[in-house]
Amino acid sequence: MAFDFLEPVEVTVLDFVKNLNSQTLGKKTVFHTHDDFPDLNKIKIAVVGVLDNRGSSSHENVDLSFIRKEFYALYPGNWHSTIADLGDIPKGNTQEDTYYAVSKIISELIKKKIVPIVIGGSQDLTYAMYRSYDNLDQMVNLVTIDNKFDFGKDESRNTSDSYLSKIIINEPTNLFNYSNLGFQTYYNSQEEIDLIEKLYFDAYRLGDVASDLSIAEPVLRDADIVSIDLTSIKSIASGNFTTFIPNGFDGKEICSLSRYSGISEKVAILGLFNHANTSKESPLIAQIIWYFIEGFNYRTLESPYSNKNNFIRYIVPIDDIELIFYKSITTERWWIEIPFISNVNNKLKRNTLLPCSHHDYLAACDQDIPERWWKAQRKNIL
């Protein structure tokens, strides 16, 4: 059984939780202990630690006790979702062994409709999260919050800065779209930036996202996997001075992005990676997790195709095409329709919807085709 790979939560953490206030998260979470494993039939969110840091330049052992103590000492919002801490996946004999355990466990959780929050460890574990979809028969949209694209130069190496190449190249190919939020140009070669464009992927510079966080909401609403590289946060906000990061998201911005991720009814996995194993980073990491769960508890399942009475339909003609937009009356969120093209090798089986923003609709009214719509069209027919 996949869950046999998991080790119980550390005793020091369990002892810490025993002394917490009865209203804290620690008292409302079910833990994997040496004596008991949670009944997953009652669980909606599962915390899973991965104690493998071999993909980073630092090969230190991973210590998640700081993060857990900070998180479980927080108080929940008005939440209805049940949380379990399933403990840790230990470092395998090889990185591939760790990847196998991660992919099997996450795949089982997804089948049970449980959202895993994976805390690493190095960000190459994103590859293992992606591989969890191999037997789930669906294409995957991956979003990373990262200052780099992580293509790397050597796809054969399992590192935090080359895992994306493995995702693109290795079969089976489950990837439909990749989006990056917060890249910093000087950390990425022009060759990598050109490759993003060539593959019709989406990338948003740090300055653009930080100046208007709302542009990230449709991107995260369309994600299946969200992977956060904690080095995308500037050191003055994260507390990570082991690796000094002068520019990046601040605490409020990264928590807002995490909340967007949680509120997306499509996001099935959240991963947090590349922390510096210090207690100083733990308060912000705990709050990032808190905001994801906060968003999760406010998820609204809605689709313009399933309940048309709750949506306003807009048709915008541009040259010889018609763009069809939908606006939710309830949440004021927007979608744009991607039409099925029958005479080409289309990846879509029918018309589908792409999350978009009000700005995209206004741009279309000015005869400017939304870039994400155009890229999605190109990916469908290639």
The two three-digit tokens of residue 215, written as one number: 């542009």
- Within-domain flag for 125: yes
Q: At what angle do helices 282-296 and 65-72 cross, to 10 degrees?
A: 50
Judge contact between 271 and 227, C-beta under 8 A. Answer: yes
Judgement on whether residues 39 and 145 belong to the same structural domain of the protein: yes
The two three-digit tokens of residue 245, written as one number: 């990061």
Judgement on whether residues 77 and 221 belong to the same structural domain of the protein: yes
**What CATH number should be reported for the domain holding residue 114?**
3.40.800.10
- From 276, 296, 316, the end of a domain falls on 296
Judgement on whether residues 116 and 221 belong to the same structural domain of the protein: yes
From the list 352, 157, 200, the residue with the least C-alpha distance to 266 is 352
Q: Which domain holds residue 317?
A: 308-381
Q: What is the pTM of this model?
A: 0.95
Judgement on whether residues 72 and 109 belong to the same structural domain of the protein: yes
Judge contact between 147 and 248, C-beta under 8 A. Answer: yes
Judgement on whether residues 286 and 198 belong to the same structural domain of the protein: yes
- Within-domain flag for 58: yes
381 pLDDT tier (thresholds 50, 70, 90)? low
d(CA 273, CA 125): 8
d(CA 283, CA 66): 9
- Within-domain flag for 303: no
Region class of 150: left (phi > 0), else alpha (psi between -120 and 50), else beta: left
Query: What number is the average pLDDT over the span 89-103?
Result: 96
- Within-domain flag for 302: no
Judgement on whether residues 219 and 115 belong to the same structural domain of the protein: yes
- From 264, 296, 328, the end of a domain falls on 296
What is the residue-wise DSSP string for 286-310? HHHHHHHHHHHTT-----TTT-GGG
The pLDDT assigned to 132 comes to 97
Judgement on whether residues 109 and 62 belong to the same structural domain of the protein: yes
d(CA 355, CA 254): 21
- Within-domain flag for 301: no
Judgement on whether residues 254 and 158 belong to the same structural domain of the protein: yes
Q: Across-strand partners of 273? A: 229
The two three-digit tokens of residue 234, written as one number: 């500037």
The pLDDT assigned to 336 comes to 96
**Residues sharing a CB contact under 8 Å with residue 329, sequence separation 6 or more, in sequence order:** 310, 311, 312
Judgement on whether residues 210 and 335 belong to the same structural domain of the protein: no
Torsion angle in degrees (nearest 10) through CA of 172, 177, 182, 188 = 60
Query: What number is the average pLDDT over the span 64-86?
Result: 97
- From 273, 296, 319, the end of a domain falls on 296
Judgement on whether residues 179 and 322 belong to the same structural domain of the protein: no
The pLDDT assigned to 242 comes to 87
Judge contact between 70 and 283, C-beta under 8 A. Answer: yes
List, for residues 178-201, the tens digit of each pLDDT value: 999 999 999 999 999 999 999 999
The pLDDT assigned to 154 comes to 62
Sign of the Cα torsion 107, 109, 111, 114 reads: negative
The pLDDT assigned to 341 comes to 60
- Within-domain flag for 18: yes
- Within-domain flag for 320: yes
The pLDDT assigned to 191 comes to 94
> What total of structural domains would you count in the chain?
2
Element (H, E) at 70: helix 65-72
348 pLDDT tier (thresholds 50, 70, 90)? very low
Residue 238, phi then psi, degrees to nearest 5: -85, -30
Judgement on whether residues 203 and 350 belong to the same structural domain of the protein: no
Element (H, E) at 199: none
What is the CB neighbour count within 10 angstroms for residue 340?
A: 13
d(CA 299, CA 57): 37
List, for residues 106-133, the tens digit of each pLDDT value: 999 999 999 999 999 999 999 999 999 9
Judgement on whether residues 193 and 286 belong to the same structural domain of the protein: yes
d(CA 131, CA 107): 9
Query: What number is the average pLDDT over the span 4-11?
Result: 96
**Residues sharing a CB contact under 8 Å with residue 206, sequence separation 6 or more, in sequence order:** 147, 182, 183, 184, 232, 247, 248, 249
Judge contact between 226 and 268, C-beta under 8 A. Answer: no
User: Is the pLDDT reported for residue 342 higher than 50?
Assistant: yes
- Within-domain flag for 88: yes
